[in-house]
Structure 1
Amino acid sequence: MKRKTPVYMAAMLVLVLALVITGCAGNNGGNTPSNTSNPGTNSGNEGGNEEQPLDKVTFTYFNGAGAAKDINTNETTIGKILEDQTGVNFKIENLVGDLNTKIGTMNASRKYPDVLIPDAAIDDVLGADGFIDLTDLIEEHGPNIKKAYGNDLERIKSADGKIYFLPMSAQVGEFLPDPNINQGAFWIQRRVLKEAGYPQIKTIDEYFQLIRDYVNNHPEEDLTGFISLTHDWRFFATTNPPMHLAGYPNDGEVIVDMETFDAKVYAGNEDTKRYLKILNELNAEGLFDKASFIDNYDQYLAKLSSGKVLGMFDYGWQIANAQNVLRDAAKADPSQDDFVYFPLPITFDGEKDQYLDPPGFVKNRGIGITISAQDPARIIQYFDNLLKEENQILRSWGIEGETFEIDENGRYYRTAEQIAKIDEAFRESFGFKYYDWNWPIYGANSTFSNGNAVSPGMQAEVFQLGLTEADKTILDAYGVKTYAEMFAAPDDRPWFPAWGIPKEQGSPEQIYETKKTEITRKYFPKLVLEDPSKFESNWEEYISEFNKLDTAGYEAFMTAEVKKLVEEAK
């Protein structure tokens, strides 16, 4: 028998020790969530234990508001760095099809992803007890969560005193206004403004006359004058314009009087009638895209990206994917800039606009951990780690020397070369696209402790350097240096946004909103697409159905909630 050497014995000893250590750590392999409540991540605030996680794990994540391809976060640069820090990867699935159907299936089966963003269907998940309470998890594992959200954690507690989800942004540091337009506007292709000599457009009639003139001047191009988004929960892009055209910000179902703080539903008022009549006339002229009421969100974005649609009302964040495609094309070929959309703050008759959001806090949307999650502590630790300032810099600015620089005064900036390379494809591969929203993060208008803007686009140096020659030309034509300067400054509204006021599942207010949406979905297509001779009778039929709702009760509830928030802000 061959004698065992000391080297052989030492190797066996190492192997045995490794097996013992592995056994003690728990046998959690592959994508199976572990049951360890402390994976060794540094969940402390900017310091603490730097041990590596005991294992790697993949959690499932469904985004009901998503408009991107499905991906593992560790397939991106940012996600891989965060996985190296925590051992955690997320398999992201984005919504395809109808949101309510998808969430309804989850509720009925009691099978959820580990992490869920139900967006507009959040009340359904709460009503089905699909989320777990995060209160104790945050207390034990969330020092950075507590620091970022501060007193807002009290505001997001439900009626039973528990926290079931985290809003997707927390205002940290100083509030910075956005030089871009990521909120509502009536958008129009730049070539339309260019051909007309960059006119001052203030009213809805001027806006649509501009579109009429351009279509008439280019009959060979098969252009679509105006399109509207109606798909699923995004139907608000069609119902909200009357509110903005009347000079109000996006408070959702109501407009709020600035003196009395009374909240009034506008879905059946003269403003909504006036807007729908305008669309009805556009349709009769062949200027409105009839498919608006059947197209899904992806089809809508594809049409915007095609260069054939002259205008639409929407929110900058919602058309961002299409705008980015158009901007990338314009970077490669400056002549393509004509197809990029330009925001206009129009109102019915030139009233003061209020498209820009004032500071606000949305507490009825967010991200939660579901009852199907096997290791909630590990997930909350990932959220907490993400909220460290250095990781917020990573997810918004990236890596120093690669996607941003720091000058001698400590100011963050991007070089022209860095700006040029950060196109849509880079945003996807690096992870900016996937960590820009839909996580517990610092709000877009926030600042870091060193005074730099959280969002690169809010940093004056970056915004100005990122402007193309075509951008400068059109801004100069309107005598402004930023897009936001085209719009009126927002008035302070302590309740904003009113659509963020929570309504309990099954409450009269929640039922009212559901029924109101059903009625508008039924009648708006008729009001817009049928012959103008039928408009008045269709409107009367719509109002007859609308008046069956308890609008007075809903308005009383919203008014009381608004006034309560005004008092709290004093």
Structure 2
Amino acid sequence: MLRRSILLFISLLFLFFFVACSNAEDTSTNDDQEDTTSDNDSESDESVEMDKTPVTFHYFNAGSPGNDIDTNETRIGKLLEEETGVNFKIEHLVGDLNTKIGVMVASGDYPDVIVPDSAIDILLDAEAFIPLNDLLEEHGPNILEMYGDYLHMFTHDDGNIYYIPFGPTINEFVPDPNINQGAFWIQRGILKENGYPEVKTLEEYLALIEEYAEDNPQIDGMDVIPFTGLTYDWRFFTFSNIPNHLAGYPNDGGVMVDMDTHEASVYADSEHAKRYLKELNDLNAKGLLDQELFIANYDEYLAKLSSGRVLGFFDYGWQFGQARTALREAGNPDREYVPLPIVFDGVEKDQYLDPPTFTSNRGVGITVNAENPERIIQYWDKLITEEYQKLVMWGFEGEHFEVGDDGRYYRTDEQIELLNKEEVREEVGMKYFEWYWPRLNGSFSDGNAVEPGRQPEVALAAYTDSDKEYLDAYGINTFSELFARPDDRPWYPTWSANIDQGSDVQIFQQRTDELLRRHYPRITLADPADFEKEWEDFVTEYRKLDVEAYENFFTEVVKDRINGEW
């Protein structure tokens, strides 16, 4: 696939070169011909002028909950509509993802644009997305430029591009001063009450929570939930990934990759998984585990975190931003959560922080039902420019950020407080455009970070007095300094590998998911006397699957990526 992509790219370069040379020779023959060419160019420019006739496309976002809205109801969306004539009616997922997508496939009635998240393979298999190659060549020069280093990563074996992933890194990679990825989270007040102890191992972490729960059975009149987690729908990976992180590995999906041999191995039935589930089983026996852990939906989970009665949990920071905002607005910093790089006793180094990466198997595609798809591409091409990416990420200069004499972007305390309000971010359009659309990562050409949260000036200015108290207690400047630097993993993440629908690997993943959803709750909630039996029942069923073939597939993925082949 890489070789084919490179050959295609080189061929296009030669084509453009010869056309350009031919035109140059034609227009330099004599004065009369120069005048004729000028007239023709003028006519050509008029013929390809962007159609700005008002049009609204249906944009279905299955990746996150939210308020349905027309993009032209936002300030950024209104500007884009003025430049392109295009508006999008955004619909967010309600209910089960696979059911929603399944109905679309069965009926053939698709929205114009879909962000299908984990159901992307279903839509690809149903041929719901149109190829974008020609559209990008003709109407998406900015997209091709920004995604240039990554095009081969989401070009399929048939040579086509069917969706645009989110977030290519351009210019310099900028690490996140805060934690937006995986971590064990704990209420800040627990650490404060215990004199800000160093907490590294799972045993130390759970002991702190257990002791605090015994002394504080209620918070603000509500029964405390010592420990919970996220298991709803496709987000079950948040729960099943935990043993991998505790063992000192990053989120590579269903496998962990040996740093020396580069061999991939599953961990679902490993001693790491058993050890973690045993800890949860013990918590449950003590009455310290959320009894709704395996039945609460996503909104119920967020509501629990927002209430301030949950003492600890594991999650990826990007999944519970709504709860974090709610707790900060509530005004009790001791109820806010802080991240910890928890590992098993004996693990030398955590690997929670992601190395520079590009997720190639998620994105936004245009469906076969869309009329005038070129106008969608033109809109995206405008959105991906630095001009608009700065509006999406930073807002409007003088209102949402300032520019110092040195050209560095920063925010005042008032601007930070303003943008902590969801309604402000919604009105500007930042909330709707910052993800699930073609967008950038890294740094702009002027050196400022694409994401304000990665700009040191902004991160430090956004910290509250309580944040600073916590950071000072641990002798650090940012939250991420508690975590180990990520090792270089050129294959990361393996879970972004393109897996054919209906293939042995895809079927293995599907059956594994079913087994984990069925057996992990049984193991966790079992009577302690039945733990070993429940565990062995799971391992027996799991090992009936072709584990070796699955591991071999990802070992090859890792080796190919090390060799530059995606």
Please confirm whether the aligned pair reaches a TM-score higher than 0.5, indicating the same fold: yes
Letter of the structure 2 residue corresponding to residue 415 of structure 1: T
Q: Does 1:399 align with 2:396?
A: yes
Aligned to 1:473, which of 469, 472, 475?
A: 469
Measure, in 1, the Cα distance between the counterparts of 2:446 and 2:48: 24
Name stretches of at least 5 consecutive residues in structure 2 with no aligned partner. Answer: 1-44
Q: Does 1:258 align with 2:254?
A: no
Cα deviation digits, residues 112-140 of structure 1 (max 9, x gap): 11110111111111111111100110011
Q: Is the 8 A contact 1:52 1:85 kept in 2?
A: no
Q: CA deviation at 1:326?
A: 1.3
Measure, in 1, the Cα distance between the counterparts of 2:561 and 2:51: 43
* Residue of structure 2 equivalent to 1:416: 413
Measure, in 2, the Cα distance between the counterparts of 1:303 and 1:70: 24
Distance 1:128 1:50, change over 3 A: closer
* Residue of structure 1 equivalent to 2:113: 115
Q: Is the 8 A contact 2:58 2:113 kept in 1?
A: yes
* Residue of structure 2 equivalent to 1:309: 310
Measure, in 2, the Cα distance between the counterparts of 1:337 and 1:239: 30
Aligned to 1:512, which of 508, 515, 519?
A: 508
Q: Does 1:461 align with 2:467?
A: no
Q: CA deviation at 1:151?
A: 2.7
Q: Is the 8 A contact 2:52 2:83 kept in 1?
A: no
Letter of the structure 2 residue corresponding to residue 236 of structure 1: F
Measure, in 1, the Cα distance between the counterparts of 2:153 and 2:144: 13
Q: Is the 8 A contact 1:397 1:456 kept in 2?
A: yes
Q: CA deviation at 1:53?
A: 4.6
Q: CA deviation at 1:354?
A: 0.1
Measure, in 1, the Cα distance between the counterparts of 2:381 and 2:277: 46
235-244 or 48-57, which moves further after superposition? 48-57
Structure 2 counterpart SS, 1:151: helix
Map 1:413-452 → 2, pairs under 5 A: 413-423=410-420, 424-443=422-441, 446-452=442-448
Superposed CA RMSD: 1.6
* Residue of structure 2 equivalent to 1:321: 322
* Residue of structure 1 equivalent to 2:478: 482
Structure 2 counterpart SS, 1:408: coil
Structure 2 counterpart SS, 1:164: coil
* Residue of structure 1 equivalent to 2:57: 59
Measure, in 1, the Cα distance between the counterparts of 2:523 and 2:369: 44
Structure 2 counterpart SS, 1:293: coil
Map 1:28-43 → 2, pairs under 5 A: none
Q: Is the 8 A contact 2:257 2:265 kept in 1?
A: yes
Q: CA deviation at 1:549?
A: 0.5
Q: Is the 8 A contact 2:135 2:374 kept in 1?
A: yes
Map 1:197-208 → 2, pairs under 5 A: 197-208=195-206
Cα deviation digits, residues 397-420 of structure 1 (max 9, x gap): 111111111111111111111111
Structure 2 counterpart SS, 1:159: coil
Structure 1 counterpart SS, 2:170: coil
* Residue of structure 2 equivalent to 1:93: 91
Letter of the structure 1 residue corresponding to residue 463 of structure 2: L
* Residue of structure 2 equivalent to 1:545: 541
Q: Does 1:378 align with 2:379?
A: no
Q: Is the 8 A contact 2:52 2:86 kept in 1?
A: no
Measure, in 2, the Cα distance between the counterparts of 1:53 and 1:462: 39
Measure, in 2, the Cα distance between the counterparts of 1:294 and 1:430: 36
TM-score by length of 2: 0.89
* Residue of structure 1 equivalent to 2:562: 566
Q: CA deviation at 1:92?
A: 1.0
Name stretches of at least 5 consecutive residues in structure 1 with no aligned partner. Answer: 1-46, 331-335
Structure 2 counterpart SS, 1:305: helix
Measure, in 1, the Cα distance between the counterparts of 2:499 and 2:46: 40
* Residue of structure 2 equivalent to 1:337: 333
Q: Is the 8 A contact 1:354 1:490 kept in 2?
A: yes
Q: Is the 8 A contact 1:494 1:569 kept in 2?
A: no
* Residue of structure 1 equivalent to 2:288: 287
Distance 1:271 1:48, change over 3 A: farther
Measure, in 2, the Cα distance between the counterparts of 1:311 and 1:475: 19
* Residue of structure 2 equivalent to 1:16: none
Q: CA deviation at 1:196?
A: 1.1
Q: Does 1:495 align with 2:497?
A: no
Q: CA deviation at 1:422?
A: 1.0
* Residue of structure 2 equivalent to 1:247: 248
